[in-house]
Every structure is written in structure tokens, then in C-alpha cells.
Chain A
Amino acid sequence: ILNVEQSPQSLHVQEGDSTNFTCSFPSSNFYALHWYRWETAKSPEALFVMTLNGDEKKKGRISATLNTKEGYSYLYIKGSQPEDSATYLCATRGGNTGFQKLVFGTGTRLLVSP
């Protein structure tokens, strides 16, 4: 069974702060790692798909790194803005659970105060 864990569970920062979250997952039979941003009352929005060890992805002020050998991914937000307030979910595919299903962590809830 794949267990995906995210930390911290929640985070409250001030506008302009930079922040980062962690996603940990079993490294065996890794296939892909997904990051989503989920604002309240909206659909989860796909941020990144990461597949190779050492991958780095960037979208505006948000970036992510991947270490498949040790089983973790970091998501960074530079200069947080109130509109970054959301729950950030990571999910993996692979292992003995099949390559179709996403296995999610419980998310990191970010609140950015003006």
C-alpha cells in the first residue's frame, strides 16, 4: 500500500513570506508525482506532474523538486500572496496499486494574510 504524507498540515504566513511544503511517499515502484492546488469551492487545479529523479518544475512563483530515491517532493512558493491561500495536495501513481489511480496525501492548508 502506498502511503503519501504531507507536512505541515497547515501553515499561516504573511504576504511576502516564502514558504515550502513536503510530500513524502514510498520510493519503490515510483511512476509519477502530482501537485494540485485546491481553492475553497473550486476544482482542484493541476500544478505539476513530475516523473524523473531530480526534476524541477516552475510555474510563476511556485516551484517543485522531486527526489524519487528517498521518496520526497518539495513545493516552494516565493513571495506568498493572499491569492495563494489554498490547500496544496500531492498524489503519486505507481507501486503495486496500479498506474492509473492517484494516491493522495491529506494536503497542506496555506493561509496568506495581507
Chain B
Amino acid sequence: DAGVTQSPTHLIKTRGQQVTLRCSPKSGHDTVSWYQQALGQGPQFIFQYYEEEERQRGNFPDRFSGHQFPNYSSELNVNALLLGDSALYLCASSLGTGTQQETQYFGPGTRLLVL
């Protein structure tokens, strides 16, 4: 059973460019969440997708957008990249039950470097 997969593993962009990161959830999961981990910090919640809709959003600007496809895979898009967007981007999947026991399972992340 494949776990959560993300692509690419590493990416280098320059300021002002746009980037798309991809995530395939664990088999049977219908909910995808995205997190940003900057150096020295814990992962910060960007947003969550369920049934192809953004269900909840963290404190990130509109430059961060996402999409969920009918097969539950997801993309994270970041426009007008800033140096401060350099981070590890983690995707997590779960069964969107909303129960207390709901567990998010993480992928290995995409390391983005903005020059």
C-alpha cells in the first residue's frame, strides 16, 4: 500500500516565478492538507481540501492556492515567489471524518529553494 507521495522532491526557482507541487494521497483517503515548514519551525498549516473544495485555510496570502482532483490528488500553487517561500512543503492525507481520532499521514515533502 503506497503511502502519501509528493513530487518533485526538490525544486529551485527564482523570485517572481510560479511553482506547482503535487501530492497523491494514501489509498482510500479523500482529504489532503498542505503544510509549510520553514527552518527551525514546526509545520504551518496552509489549507485543506475535501471533495475538491477548500475546507479550511491558514494564515497564508492569496499567492498560495490549491486544487483537488476527482481522484483526490492535489496541487499546491505558489505565485510571485518570494525568498521567504523557501521551505519544506508537506502534504498530508486523511479520511475526512472530522472525528477526534482522524489521523493525517504525511508525505516526505518537497524542498523548495527560491533564489
Contact = CB atoms under 8 A, between A and B. Distances in A.
Interface stretch (B14-22, B73-81, B99-107): B99-107
B103 A41 contact: no
A34 B56 contact: no
Contacts of A60: none
Contact of B106 (A43, A103, A105, A106): A43
Interface string B2-43: 011000000000000000000000000000010100001111
Contact of A51 (B45, B101, B106): B101
A49 B40 contact: no
A90 B108 CA distance: 18
Given A31-B100, A43-B4, A49-B100, A107 B33 contact: no
Given A104-B43, A106-B40, A106-B41, A43 B108 contact: yes
Q: Give the contact-size bracket for chain A.
A: 20 to 34
Contacts of B98: 99-100
Contacts of A59: none
B3 A102 contact: no
A106 B103 contact: no
Interface of B: 3-4, 33, 35, 40-45, 48, 55-56, 58, 90, 92, 98, 100-109
Interface of A: 4, 31-32, 34, 36, 41-44, 46, 49, 51, 89, 91, 93, 98-107
